[in-house]
Amino acid sequence: MRSVSVFGATGSIGESTFDLLMRQGGPDAYRVVALTGGRNVARLAEQARALRAEMAVIADNALLPDLKGALAGSGIAAAAGQNALLEAADCPADWIMSGIVGAAGLAPGFRALSHGGTLALANKESLVTAGPLLMAEARAHGARILPVDSEHSAVFQALVGEEMEAVERITITASGGAFRDWPLDRLASATVAEASTHPNWAMGQRITIDSASMFNKALEVIETHEFFGISSEQIEVLVHPESLVHALVGFRDGGVIGHLGVPDMRHAIGYALNWPERVQLPVARLNLAEIGQLTFAAPDPARYPALRLAREVMSVGGLSGAAFNAAKEAALDAFIDGRIGFTAMAGAVEDVLSRLSATGALGNPAASLDMVLDTDREARRLAGEVIEKMQRT
């Protein structure tokens, strides 16, 4: 029986993974080693009971008594805190979903790789902050990383049977987010509620706001660079409001292979779960005759400054991805808390990057996870200063 663990089970990716596991036989088909959540004890306990998991872990230490209470009589082990997450990652499983949001997902995914198996990687932040380390760890332990981000799953699928040397260009698409058609001068006053709606995808709040600012696409460009080993110049972003073409791979003979599908993460998750097989998945089928037309445009650099920052990060390399992601997470927190406006996020991130690059530290190779985590902490500290200054002026 295949063993699986789901990190971030209570989130949007986690729920889709849970749905697929249940549809594909649930506890009769899988030995579920560990399920983890951040704060949502009730849902984590429900999922753990339904899948007869061996262990449930909640990230917030203070919630351990609640989790124990919710699992009473089930025989499912309950644990809490960051160490417990790492211990769950130390329990080998054949397939592990990395579905925690943010840099918090890095350490558990990294640890899981050291036991081999397959890491289904939704947590793009892992590749952005520590791509070379993660890929090397997978190679060292014979583990496999399968991309779950829809664009990267699409590229992965388009590359089946192809050689990377024949690839000229990878295009990933972006819906343009909630403010694609807003006048530029209105963006500064955009509210959290307005930024938390997505034209096509139903996702967690943080990635939805990152889609409006295109920080999400910025992370994905870096993710493409790290996962497929392709240069920044070979990666293109296109605004595609319909979100039906997820990615295109252009080859040196002029041919282009694209991947299309309705916006439902259960396709990419299901592909990674069943790879290399394709199985029947509960996603709506594409009806192009009904859709009629697909549209594409180059992204407006004034509307989406995050894309320019991603290019700078790739040109510096080293620890700059960790700094970029941490500053972005801190700026996003500040926007969600109402401390800064929507457009101030990019300014804050740029300020942190230029302060850190002045020290010359960013170009250093990310030689260890500790270096990455130190850079993450320092970037968050600086972002705190930058954001406080922004609030005063």
Q: Where does this chain bind ligand NDP (CB under 6 A)?
A: 8-14, 37-40, 59, 99-101, 104-105, 122-125, 149, 201, 203-204, 206-207, 265
Rounded distance, CA 216 to CA 1, Å?
Answer: 36
Residue 297 DSSP code:
B
> Which residues have CB under 8 Å from 380's CB, separation 6+?
326, 327, 329, 330
For residues 89 and 353, which CB has a smaller minimum distance to ligand NDP in the complex?
89
For residues 84 and 351, which CB has a smaller minimum distance to ligand NDP in the complex?
84
For residues 10 and 171, which CB has a smaller minimum distance to ligand NDP in the complex?
10
CB neighbours (10 Å) of residue 136? 12
For residues 99 and 261, which CB has a smaller minimum distance to ligand NDP in the complex?
99
**Is 92:4 a contact under the CB 8 Å cutoff?**
no
For residues 172 and 323, which CB has a smaller minimum distance to ligand NDP in the complex?
172
Q: At what angle do helices 320-336 and 305-316 cross, to 10 degrees?
A: 150
For residues 122 and 372, which CB has a smaller minimum distance to ligand NDP in the complex?
122
Shortest reach from residue 245's CB to ligand NDP, in Å: 16
For residues 112 and 351, which CB has a smaller minimum distance to ligand NDP in the complex?
112
Shortest reach from residue 319's CB to ligand NDP, in Å: 20
Structure tokens at 12: 């949007």
Structure tokens at 339: 């401390």
Shortest reach from residue 60's CB to ligand NDP, in Å: 8
Shortest reach from residue 45's CB to ligand NDP, in Å: 11
For residues 71 and 351, which CB has a smaller minimum distance to ligand NDP in the complex?
71
Q: Nearest-5° angle of CA 45, CA 50, CA 54?
A: 70
Query: DSSP letters along 302-362, please?
Result: TT-HHHHHHHHHHHH-TTHHHHHHHHHHHHHHHHHTTSS-TTHHHHHHHHHHHHHHHTT-T
For residues 87 and 168, which CB has a smaller minimum distance to ligand NDP in the complex?
87
Shortest reach from residue 336's CB to ligand NDP, in Å: 12
Shortest reach from residue 105's CB to ligand NDP, in Å: 6
Shortest reach from residue 29's CB to ligand NDP, in Å: 22
Rounded distance, CA 257 to CA 181, Å?
Answer: 29
Q: Amino acid letter at 255?
A: G
> Which residues have CB under 8 Å from 280's CB, separation 6+?
none
Shortest reach from residue 363's CB to ligand NDP, in Å: 25
Rounded distance, CA 261 to CA 274, Å?
Answer: 17
Residue number of the CB closest to ligand NDP reads: 11
In this structure, is the dihedral angle defined by the CA atoms of residues 236, 242, 246 and 251, taken in order, positive or negative? Answer: negative
Shortest reach from residue 16's CB to ligand NDP, in Å: 7
> Which residues have CB under 8 Å from 292's CB, separation 6+?
none
